[in-house]
Amino acid sequence: MSLPVTRTSIAERSNRLARLVADQLAKRQNLDGTFTQHSFYAPAFAAALWAQLDPALYAQQIEAALCALEAEQQTPRYHREFIEYGLRQIPGLSDKRLNAILRTAPTQSPDVANWQVLGMINRHLSLKKGGGKNRKLINWLHWAFIRLRYWRTPLFWDRPTCFSGQYHAFCAALLTDSPEAAHRIIADKATALIAKLSGNHGYANLLGRGAGQSFGAVCALYALSKHGFHTQADAVLFRLENAFLTTGTLPLNLFSTADLPDDPGPANPKTPGWYSYNRHDDYLAFAGYWLLKIATNPTTPRPQPTTPKLKAAPIAIFSTPAYQAQMCLGGKHSFDLTPCPVVLSGSGNIATLLFAPTGGEEDAPSLYGPASIPLPATSDGKDFAQIRKATRCQNTVHVDFTLAGISGNRTITFEDTQITITDQIATKCDLLRLLVHHEAYLTQTTKQQLHAPDLGITFKADQDLAIEGANHFTTAGLARRVIAPHTDHVTLRICWGTDDD
């Protein structure tokens, strides 16, 4: 099966992708039901996909996956919530078999919104088969806890005070699928934010943990399609289809065109957008499951819903015909905050990354250490700036940082065809250190001016600029670094189109 050239409905296109994923999973499955690379929950979601798509055709694969789950050793990293959710989506799976697989494995229940919502949904699904008043009360209290701790209209925190477009979308998808009216009301508001983040370019998860990953894209697609945001859903689906056409699979990260190698990790530069717990087969099976849900639960187009205003939100989105820029203004770690805006140049299907998402998980070593964050650093490369806080006032974002004990600040102003970035600090150091995506071809025309001819963008500064080679990392892969070397102040204007100033 191949993808057609002509567009059909979102449901038909999702079905086609789901079938391609199902066949690919069947080929990647080992005889014992496990998958090529170690996975956490791939057998459960693959079995759910196969069982809903064609249980007779995939009977052997489904049984092998269930046997693999029964034989799996339940370590402290056992993804109980994800596995249980996948199993509960398999039509006809008996409680006896489900309990034999889960056994006495405890829930993880980390202080993370998507895990908490998933646990609540699992409990709700179990109540369908009978449950006392105590369990219903527990679920009600759990929902109240989730609302209080993670919900800040119109967004879900990833962790308290930290935002992730990916895990916000997963929460929205789970609640959209809930039979509880209270859940769906919240999901509708959360999906309006996804629509604003996606715009017409189709990248729904550019901010926070999991930036650019297929996991968040399929969740966003499901929520958008169910809540009537068909323009944005069409754009997200285009990105998924394009990734499949480019790579022959749904890659872990939609910005990475290479297959995930057998030895992913910080020592391997071919793993952009990868964190220690990411598994290709997990994400592939997860994506196939949600794509099939979109295909089997189509919604009729309706008037375009309104999107929320974000003046007081901890994220900032600036959209013009020339570009869209997004920033996270709060968080606890470098991968939560956005010291340089994520910028897509242009619009629609041809929108191109200029500044890619940066930073990554730091619970385990990754490609994204302090040196990779686009903030100033000492010229000897020994010290790197750390954000203290970021605030927004209308179309301007102020970022306060410290470098080797010295305070500095960055001001970013967004206008229709221009972004202006000013760095200043009371010491000579390397300022800016902005990471330009490797696909944005960049040349130096004068000491203080750069040009991206394919995008029609000019960089103009009041200090000398330098371009460092494409050996730096973003979650979208390699990038070239733009710096203003050994200075205490620089103003850089990034201009779209002609500019005679």
Cα 294 to the chain's mean position, in Å? Answer: 19
Does residue 5 register a pLDDT over 50? no
Provide, rounded to the nearest whole percent, the portion of the chain with pLDDT above 70.
89
**Given CA atoms 181, 185, 186, 191 in this order, what sign does their dihedral have?**
positive
pLDDT at position 428? 96
Beta carbons of 441 and 454 less than 8 angstroms apart: yes
Name the residue with higher pLDDT: 7 or 380: 380
Question: CB-hemisphere CA count at 13 Å for 367?
Answer: 22
Q: For residues 222-232, give the mean pLDDT.
A: 94
Q: For residues 211-235, give the mean pLDDT.
A: 95
| The Cα angle at residue 342 between residues 338 and 346, in degrees rounded to 5 | 165
Does residue 76 register a pLDDT over 50? yes
Q: How far lies 390's CA from each of 340, 465, 493, in Å?
A: 11, 25, 20
What CATH class does 10-296 carry? mainly alpha
pLDDT at position 309? 75
Name the residue with higher pLDDT: 335 or 289: 289
pLDDT at position 134? 80
pLDDT at position 130? 63
pLDDT at position 295? 94
Q: Which pLDDT band, with edges at 50, 70 and 90, does 265 fall under? A: low
Q: Which pLDDT band, with edges at 50, 70 and 90, does 406 fall under? A: very high
Residue at token pair 């500064």? 461
Q: Which amino acid is at 176?
A: T
Report pTM. Answer: 0.94
pLDDT at position 6? 46
The DSSP secondary-structure symbol of 407 reads E
Q: For residues 74-88, give the mean pLDDT.
A: 96
Q: For residues 475-491, give the mean pLDDT.
A: 93
pLDDT at position 1? 47
Residue at token pair 């990038």? 479
Q: Which pLDDT band, with edges at 50, 70 and 90, does 129 fall under? A: low
Provide, rounded to the nearest whole percent, the portion of the chain with pLDDT above 90.
75
pLDDT at position 38? 84
The mean predicted confidence, pLDDT, of the chain is 90
DSSP 266-323: TT-TT-TT--TT--HHHHHHHHHHHHHHHHHS-----SPPP----TTSSEEEEE-SSE
Q: For residues 357-386, give the mean pLDDT.
A: 80
Angle between helices 42-53 and 59-71 (to 10 degrees): 160
Q: Which pLDDT band, with edges at 50, 70 and 90, does 165 fall under? A: very high
Q: For residues 241-252, give the mean pLDDT.
A: 92
pLDDT at position 239? 97
**Given CA atoms 332, 334, 339, 344 in this order, what sign does their dihedral have?**
negative
pLDDT at position 259? 63
Instruction: Read off the pLDDT of residues 432-454 as tens digits, 9 standing for 90 and up.
Output: 999 999 889 999 999 999 999 99
Query: How far apart (Å, rounded) are the C-alpha atoms in residues 232 and 240?
Result: 13
Closest C-alpha to 381, from 501, 472, 258, 254: 472
Q: Which pLDDT band, with edges at 50, 70 and 90, does 475 fall under? A: confident
Instruction: Read off the pLDDT of residues 82-119 as tens digits, 9 standing for 90 and up.
Output: 999 999 999 999 999 999 999 999 999 999 999 999 99
The DSSP secondary-structure symbol of 94 reads -
Q: Which pLDDT band, with edges at 50, 70 and 90, does 273 fall under? A: low
| The Cα angle at residue 347 between residues 346 and 348, in degrees rounded to 5 | 145
Q: For residues 186-204, give the mean pLDDT.
A: 95
Q: Which long-range contacts (CB under 8 A, 24 or more apart) does 331-334 make?
A: 331/161, 331/162, 331/163, 331/208, 332/159, 332/161, 332/162, 333/162, 333/359, 333/362, 334/359, 334/362, 334/368, 334/370, 334/373, 334/386, 334/387
pLDDT at position 8? 74
| The Cα angle at residue 18 between residues 14 and 23, in degrees rounded to 5 | 155
Does residue 197 register a pLDDT over 50? yes
Q: Comparing 111-125, 261-275, 417-431, 482-496, which segment has the lowest mean pLDDT? A: 261-275
Does residue 304 register a pLDDT over 80? no
pLDDT at position 360? 61
pLDDT at position 476? 85
Beta carbons of 83 and 41 less than 8 angstroms apart: yes
Does residue 355 register a pLDDT over 50? yes
pLDDT at position 267? 65
Does residue 394 register a pLDDT over 80? yes
Please state the φ and ψ torsions of residue 427, each to the nearest 5 degrees: -165, 155
| The Cα angle at residue 62 between residues 240 and 124, in degrees rounded to 5 | 75
Domain locations along the chain: 10-296, 315-496
